[in-house]
Amino acid sequence: MRREVPLAITAIVGFTLIVVYFIPHPPFNHFRNFFEDLFFIVAAFAIWLGCLNLLKVNADRFYFKRKGWPFAIVVWFGFFLMVIVGFWDGRGFMNPGTTFYYLYDILYYPLNATMFSILAFFVASASYRAFRARNKEATMLLVAAMVVMLGRVPFGYYLSSWLPEGWRLGNITDWVMDFPQTAGQRAIMIGIALGIVSSSLRVLLGLERTFASGE
């Protein structure tokens, strides 16, 4: 019963939403919003679950002095600092000028930007590994990448400006991006679309049921 009920709900809601897609007439057109609202209500309750889990895991880490336990103090401190400041500011605590907003602005944003900026260095290190000419395919990738990189910068323009129009690095870059790259991407997209339909069908027919805690 514990397994059958979620599967039945999934099948009913899933097939209803497929039917709703083809019927614009009321009341069918309201169903989608109705189910979305239900999802958001469940998700709102789950946020509490997440917060409690976060606090419990970090309390355990601190109590049992597990690896990295000092970070647990930082998590608890940060969590309660923001909660207390949020309540202190009252309604509209996220508006500019509030203490909550100030803390968010001076702490979270710079930290967020710092993490994001690391990406630039990781792109360089990943490219270094990916663009090594180990075999024929990797060499082709290397050559294409070099052409596209040079074609995107002024240096590439100066390097190939003596060539006739249509054969310059910028033109070759545009060709690579517009044809082989777009064709490859679309092939993957079509595969993904069919994969989504296939997976959805497996879920709706109850063939795939791990999400309902059982195989």
Partner 1 sequence: MRKITISLLTIFLLTLFVNISFSQEEPLPPSEVKASDTPNDNGHSITVTWKLSPDDGAGKKNVVAYEILRSDNPEGEFEIRGVAPAGESRFDDKGAKEKTDKNYLPGHKNFYYKVRAKADKTFAESEVSNPAFAYGQWYHTGKTTVLIGVILFSAFALYFINLARKGKKLFVRPLAGIEAVDEAIGRATEMGKPILYIIGLGSADMIATIASFTILSRVAKKTAEYQTPILIPCYDSVVMAVAQETVRAAYLEAGRPDSYKEENIFFVTSMQFAYVAGVNGIMLRERPATNFYLGKFYAESLILAETGSVAGSIQISGTDEIAQIPFFIAATDYTLIGEELYAASAYLGKEPVLLGTLKAQDWGKALVIISLILGALAASFNFQFFLNLFRVQL
List 9, 23, 41, 140, residue binding partner 1 (CB under 8 A): 23
d(CA 57, CA 40): 25
CB within 8 Å of 72: residues ≥ 6 apart: 58, 59, 61, 62
Cβ-based nearer residue to partner 1, 142 or 159: 142
* Least distance in angstroms from the C-beta of 191 to partner 1: 4
User: What length does the chain have?
Assistant: 215
Q: Using the rule CB under 8 A, is 215 a contact of partner 1?
A: yes
State the number of CA atoms in the 13 A half-sphere of 53 facing the CB.
6
Containing H/E element for 119?
helix 109-130
Q: Give the separation between CA 202 and CA 200, rounded to whole angstroms.
A: 5
Among 5, 8, 29, 140, binds partner 1 (CB under 8 A): 29
Is there binding between residue 122 and partner 1 (CB under 8 A)? yes
Nearest residue (CB) to partner 1, 43 versus 84: 43
Distance CA 190, CA 195 (A): 8
Touching partner 1, residues 95-114 (CB under 8 A):
108, 111-112
- Interface with partner 1, residue 25, by CB under 8 A: yes
Residue 160 CB, shortest distance to partner 1, in Å, is: 25
Query: Binding string to partner 1 for residues 49 to 88, with x set by CB under 8 A, is what?
Result: xxx-xx-xx--x------xx--x-----------------
The reply to whether 46 sits near partner 1 by the rule CB under 8 A is yes
- Min CB(112)–partner 1 separation in Å: 5
DSSP string for 155-170 = HHHHHHTTSPTTSSHH
Of 123, 143, 153, 177, the residue at the interface with partner 1 (CB under 8 A) is 123
191 lines the binding site for partner 1 (CB under 8 A): yes
| Neighbour tally for 175: CB within 10 Å | 14
User: Applying CB under 8 A, which part among 42-50, 89-97, 150-158, 168-176 lies near partner 1?
Assistant: 42-50
Q: What values do phi and psi take at 21, rounded to 5?
A: -60, -30
Do the beta carbons of residue 99 and residue 84 sit within 8 Å?
A: no
